[in-house]
């Protein structure tokens, strides 16, 4: 199988993957991101880890900040971020399907 | 400032945690991160674990901003950072080499039952490598000198004045201390110079620490200057090649010192342990173990720097 350019998004519990997944439902600021990620993934990202990932994602143009006067600045996913997340999700789903098939479970199936 | 929930004291405490981050990053993300910390802590005080986590994240960000880690920096910055990492490993090698010079003093006087030729060859190789490394580092400095001159002429001196002045002052101090210590040593017996005089031993140790500090501060000053230089692609490629060569020198030197140790252990372990000739004590002595550990770290750092240079230089 040819390697896929995952834009540095490798594992489902990588902070960048979690942040992009959270932002896929709409813009959020840091605390809202952390709470959402904890709700859907059960992963608590500390402030340092969260902002480390936000910095990398913004540098790569996968997310962008929204203008605000509040210190709690919201971020939104960009078109490149959506494409990168889609690639990563397909990649992860492919692995999940192989695992499910080999375990005799119902594959989730590719979209 | 809007949106704040913490008291001024709490906010000040949390703002203090930003000191681990690079200044430019603090300017861009600092207020947001403080707000997030306030929300995350919900009015509580930051625990030691929380503070440690912030320190680790901040230092990671510093490494990324300097081009030492991550892929966010441009290739040229990563090449330069990798070369500076190799330079740091070379400084560590010089310090280890100085300790090796002391540990191997008069080693050739020891009659080895076997492995004498190997010990001599390894020792001579270390000397050749030391000169080679110095020439390579000086070549790197020479390649960067025109850019450094342009940087200084463009008014860059204030940005690097502090580390340069500290290094220069320490250097003058070392010269004065060396002359004084040498003069003192001439009036002492061999026994007094080799541990018989506690005051002299203490002064010698202080001098050694001072020399190490001079090396470290000059490396720091060189790094402070190099990080600000506008090196062209050709200069960067030359620096990359030199960094590779220095990394090889660091690794091979560490291996040669290890080989010398093994040869001496087989033929004259009494020399290493400082016991009477003809005895067979363990050759695993604390100073040599510490030295080899230090050199192993230097080699690992050199390898990291060389790999970083190698992965980025093609994109320059």
Low-confidence ranges of chain B (pLDDT < 50): 1-4
CA distance B79 to B85: 10
The percent of residues in chain A predicted with pLDDT above 90, rounded, is 68
Cβ of A49 within 8 Å of Cβ of B39? The answer is no
The percent of residues in chain B predicted with pLDDT above 70, rounded, is 95
**Degrees (nearest 5) of the Cα angle A37, A40, A42?**
75
Do B125 and B92 reside in the same domain of the chain? yes
- Is the Cβ–Cβ distance between A98 and A56 less than 8 Å? no
What is the pLDDT of chain A when averaged over all its residues? 87
Task: Enumerate the residues of chain B whose CB falls inside 8 A of the CB of residue A71.
Answer: 1-4, 31-32, 34-35
Would you say residue B70 lies in a domain? Answer: no
pLDDT, tens only, A93-110: 998 899 899 998 876 654
Predicted TM-score of the model (pTM): 0.77
Do B159 and B193 reside in the same domain of the chain? yes
Do B175 and B56 reside in the same domain of the chain? no
Do B261 and B301 reside in the same domain of the chain? yes
Here the tokens at position B20 are: 């681990």
Do B53 and B81 reside in the same domain of the chain? no
Would you say residue B68 lies in a domain? Answer: no
CA distance A26 to A23: 5
Total tally of structural domains belonging to chain B: 2
Which pLDDT does position B286 carry in this prediction? 92
Which pLDDT does position A1 carry in this prediction? 43
Q: Which residues form the domain of B43?
A: 8-63
Do B23 and B83 reside in the same domain of the chain? no
Of B19 and A1, the structure prediction assigns the larger pLDDT to B19
Distance from CA of A25 to the nearest CA of B (A): 20
CA distance B8 to B157: 38
Q: What is the set of domains in chain A, with CATH numbers?
A: 15-100 (1.10.10.10)
Helix residue ranges per DSSP H, A1-111: 15-23, 30-41, 47-59, 79-102
Which pLDDT does position B278 carry in this prediction? 78
Would you say residue B1 lies in a domain? Answer: no
Which pLDDT does position B117 carry in this prediction? 85
pLDDT, tens only, A43-100: 999 999 999 999 999 999 999 999 888 889 999 999 999 999 999 999 999 988 998 9
CA distance A8 to A11: 9
- Beta-bridge partner residues of A75: A28, A65
Cβ of A47 within 8 Å of Cβ of B4? The answer is no
The reply to whether ipTM tops 0.90 is no
Here the tokens at position A16 are: 């960048």
- Calculate the CA dihedral of residues A88, A91, A94, A99 and round it to 10 degrees: -80
Do B195 and B271 reside in the same domain of the chain? yes
Which pLDDT does position B272 carry in this prediction? 86
Would you say residue B17 lies in a domain? Answer: yes
Give the pLDDT band (50/70/90) at residue A2. very low
Task: Enumerate the residues of chain A whose CB falls inside 8 A of the CB of residue B4.
Answer: 71
pLDDT, tens only, B95-121: 999 999 988 988 877 766 566 788 999
């Amino acid at each position: 199988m040819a390697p896929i350019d995952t834009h540095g998004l490798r594992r489902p519990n990588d902070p960048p993957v979690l942040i992009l997944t959270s932002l896929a439902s709409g813009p959020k600021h840091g605390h809202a991101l952390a709470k959402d990620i904890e709700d859907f993934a059960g992963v608590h990202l500390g402030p340092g880890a969260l902002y480390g990932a936000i910095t990398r994602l913004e540098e790569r143009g996968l997310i962008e900040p929204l203008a605000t006067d509040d210190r709690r600045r919201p971020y939104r996913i960009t078109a490149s971020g959506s494409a990168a997340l889609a690639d990563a999700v397909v990649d992860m789903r492919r692995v999940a399907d192989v695992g499910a098939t080999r375990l005799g479970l119902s594959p989730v199936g590719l979209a | 400032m809007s949106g704040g929930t913490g008291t001024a004291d709490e906010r000040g405490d949390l703002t203090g945690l930003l000191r681990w981050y690079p200044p430019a990053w603090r300017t861009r993300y600092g207020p947001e991160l403080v707000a997030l910390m306030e929300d995350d802590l919900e009015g509580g005080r930051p625990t030691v674990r929380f503070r440690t986590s912030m320190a680790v994240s901040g230092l990671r960000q510093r490494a990324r901003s300097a081009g030492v880690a991550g892929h966010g920096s441009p290739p040229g910055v990563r090449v330069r950072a990798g070369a500076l990492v190799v330079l740091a490993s070379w400084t560590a090698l010089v310090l280890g080499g100085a300790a090796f010079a002391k540990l191997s003093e008069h080693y050739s006087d020891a009659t080895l039952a076997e492995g004498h030729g190997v010990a001599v060859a390894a020792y001579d190789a270390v000397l050749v490598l030391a000169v080679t490394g110095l020439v390579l580092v000086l070549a790197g400095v020479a390649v960067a000198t025109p850019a450094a001159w342009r940087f200084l002429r463009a008014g860059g001196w204030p940005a690097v004045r502090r580390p340069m002045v500290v290094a220069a002052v320490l250097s003058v101090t070392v010269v004065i201390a060396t002359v004084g210590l040498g003069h003192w040593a001439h009036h002492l017996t061999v026994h007094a110079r080799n541990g018989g005089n506690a005051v002299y031993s203490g002064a010698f140790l202080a001098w050694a620490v001072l020399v190490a500090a001079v090396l470290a501060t000059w490396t720091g000053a060189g790094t402070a200057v190099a990080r600000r230089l506008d090196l062209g692609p050709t200069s960067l490629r030359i620096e990359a090649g030199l960094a590779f060569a220095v990394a090889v020198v660091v690794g091979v030197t560490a291996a040669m010192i290890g080989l010398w140790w093994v040869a001496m252990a087989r033929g004259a372990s009494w020399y290493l342990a400082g016991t009477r000739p003809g005895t067979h004590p363990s050759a695993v002595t604390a100073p040599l173990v510490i030295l080899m550990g230090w050199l192993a770290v230097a080699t690992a750092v050199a390898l990291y720097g060389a790999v970083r240079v190698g992965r980025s230089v093609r994109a320059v």
